[in-house]
Structure 1
Amino acid sequence: MTAIPASAPAADARPGKKLNRVLWTLQILFGLFFIIVSGLPKLYGQEAAVQAFNDIGWGDWFRYFTGIVEVAGGIGLLVPRLSGLAAAGLSITTVLAAATQVFLLDAAALAPFPLVLAVLFAWIAYERRDSIVAVREMLSR
């Protein structure tokens, strides 16, 4: 019979100290970006945002919806308990933004930026997976 020594370290999903600092730096920068630079202009009707959503053809409701999703995701990145879920959601959002650039706006040259963001958000979500598990456990009680 194989025994596991009592001194064996438990598998922990939490990142190390340096990685945690890198993640929080990225989360703060991206959180502020999605709140201030991306989401709020859509909600306040900035001319470029209005024109882009008119070009898509889905009207103002979709611009407001996208703005709310981006602001909520940006805020979620700044809240430790929600950071993993927010990163996962923003990863999906940015993939859809890239698809919109390619298929609806015929601007394939603009698609790499949201795809890079999608990869970074997926990485943040993976590293913050303990927060996703904690939320799931809290909701299942």
Structure 2
Amino acid sequence: MSQSLSSPVAPSRGVTILAWSLQILLALVFLAAGGAKLAGIPMMVQVFDLIGVGQWFRLVTGLVEVGGAVALLIPGAAAFAGLWLGCTMVGAVLAHLTILPTPAAPAVLLLVLCAFLAWLRREQIGAVLNRGR
């Protein structure tokens, strides 16, 4: 029998430990990546020069990543942070595949991990969707 959003089941202790471990790992990665963008690390400036949209986009992306990293550590927000950062990684994958000369594999891996986290924490999404019922 499949689970629906209308009847959320509390995750097991093992799933909770896995989810928190993944949340902490992703938070560290996105805090570092977003911080590098906000700090104007030369490599990040060059990457966003290649993308060609402007350095304002580097700053916005850095804010999105740092904000997502913080949200990953807020109980009840991890699923939404995973979706938020996953969407950001879709953009990164597309940039790597179409513009940037570097491999897309790291961005793909982060996308998969963010999606997996959102799935692990899906009860948070169900709780929000069922709030008005």
TM-score by length of 2: 0.86
The aligned residue for residue 121 of structure 2 is 128
Structure (1 or 2) with the greater helix fraction: 1
Identify the residue that residue 9 of structure 2 maps to in structure 1. 13
Following TM superposition, by how much is the alpha carbon of 1:106 offset from its aligned partner in structure 2, in angstroms?
3.3
Change (3 A) 1:13 1:88: farther
One-letter amino acid of the counterpart of residue 59, structure 1: G
- Provide the residue aligned with 1:38 in structure 2: 33
Q: Distance in 1 between matches of 2:77 and 2:130?
A: 13
Query: Which structure carries more relative contact order (alpha carbon 8 Å, separation 6+)?
Result: 2
Letter in 1 for 2:124: S
* Code of the aligned partner of 2:36: P
Q: Counterpart amino acid of 1:87?
A: G
| Counterpart in the other structure of 1:75 | 70
Shift of 1:84: 0.4
Identity of aligned residues (%): 38
| SS of equivalent to 1:80 | coil
For 1:40 and 1:135, locate their aligned partners in 2 and report how far apart those are by CA, in whole Å.
30
Tell whether the 8 Å contact from 1:81 to 1:135 is kept in structure 2 after alignment: no
The alpha carbon displacement at 1:29 in A equals 1.3
List, as ranges, runs of 4+ consecutive aligned residues in structure 1 with deviation greater than 6 Å. none
Q: CA deviation at 1:126?
A: 1.2
- Rounded Cα–Cα distance in structure 1 between residues aligned with 2:14 and 2:20: 10
| Structure 2 unaligned regions, length at least 5 | 1-6
Structure 1 residue runs of 5 or longer lacking an equivalent are 1-10
Mapped partners of 1:56, 1:97: distance in 2: 10
Following superposition, the deviation at residue 15 of structure 1 comes to 2.0
Aligned length: 127
Structure 1 letter corresponding to 2:19 = L
TM-score of the superposed pair, with normalisation by structure 1: 0.82
